[in-house]
Amino acid sequence: MIVILEKNITEKKTEEIISLLEENMFSVYKSSSDEEVILHISGGKPGFNGKNLKHLEGISDVIKTDESFKLSSRRSKSENTVIKIAGYGGLEIGGTGIAMIAGPCSIESEKQIFEIAELVAGSGTRILRGGAFKPRSSPYSFQGMGLEGLKLIRKAANEYKLAVVTEVMDTRNVDLIEEYTDIFQVGSRNMQNFPLLKELGKRKKPVLLKRGFAARIEEWLLSAEYILAGGNGDVILCERGIRTFENFTRNTFDVSAIPVVHQKSHLPVAADPSHATGWRERVIPMARAAVAAGADAIMVEVHNDPQHALSDGPQALLPDQFCTLVGQLQKIAEVIERKII
């Protein structure tokens, strides 16, 4: 259920209502905006009649919802969540702008990440992606540079005044990665790594949560719920394709998920056409489609020498392809009264 408190309610009265709910075995999560305070509650003693809550002093309304994802639902928050990236002069995800996120799959060397960071910054893109800890299907594949990779991407990003997004795979690495990143990325394989999601819920930095390659939209939103329930409201959902029987693409890019999630949830939605398609020739048209469908951010892989990339070279855009793509996306964004940032 969703409990909406009266406007101008005192903090003392709010705490009294929360205490009463907890005494009756409700689990309570409080969210607030400039206009109202909302309590998201679940559970409760057997036989407790939720309708009686409406009669309590300080409660404006009680809304019953059948949706399992309560905190991320449009029912709990009608306006879009806009996530501000601290320290980057108005950079945000979820507003009228569409954020570009670009960089290599993996950080491979100082020369590589600096050259790509320069390219990314030169295009007007403000967020640099790159993996230091890489989940790979084979244990014999390149697993990333670890701490050294984190240091390199942070150094390159600082040089070109870029924000950083990099993947976290393990609760044991959250503290370490938090020192170097501006946005945590949770990859497809870890979408249901619940201990990791709970830990990220305790942090203050945004989390980019990729859809699992076999996850329904409801399961994806429920994973976001773990982060939100921990107190971190800055979650960016990222569509990156799902596994189907088709083998002409790496995955099947579910572009329809973008408007569906916008209808169901207030959280911003990013799109990763690189992992969705697996081939650079297909990344560009799918990125264009994602902007047209309403994505709040586009995340693509770009590499200065993809033929020798240590991971995902075939899906990484060449430098000239990337610059061309940014220009094309800007034109599409203008048609729908948005802009690439």
- Which parts of the chain sit beneath pLDDT 70? 32-35, 47, 49-51, 65-67, 140
| Class of domain 2-63 as given by CATH | alpha beta
pTM of the model: 0.84
How far apart (Å, rounded) are the C-alpha atoms in residues 163 and 85?
8
According to the 3-state scheme, what is the secondary structure of the chain?
Answer: CEEEECCCCCHHHHHHHHHHHHHCCEEEEEEECCCCEEEEEEECCCCCCHHHHHHCCCEEEEECCCCCCCCCECCCCCCCCCEECCCCCCCEECCCEEEEEEECCECCCHHHHHHHHHHHHHCCCCEEECECCCCCCCCCCCCCCCHHHHHHHHHHHHHCCCEEEEECCCHHHHHHHHCCCCEEEECHHHCCCHHHHHHHHCCCCCEEEECCCCCCHHHHHHHHHHHHHCCCCCEEEEECCECCCCCCCCCECCCCHHHHHHHHECCCEEECHHHHHCCHHHHHHHHHHHHHHCCCEEEEEECCCHHHCCCCHHHCECHHHHHHHHHHHHHHHHHCCCEEC
> Quick check: do 2-63 and 83-340 share a fold?
no
- Listed by start position, the domains of the chain span 2-63, 83-340
Q: Which two tokens stand for residue 145?
A: 């540079």
Domain at 83-340: CATH code: 3.20.20.70
Q: How far apart are CA 153 and CA 112, in angstroms?
A: 10
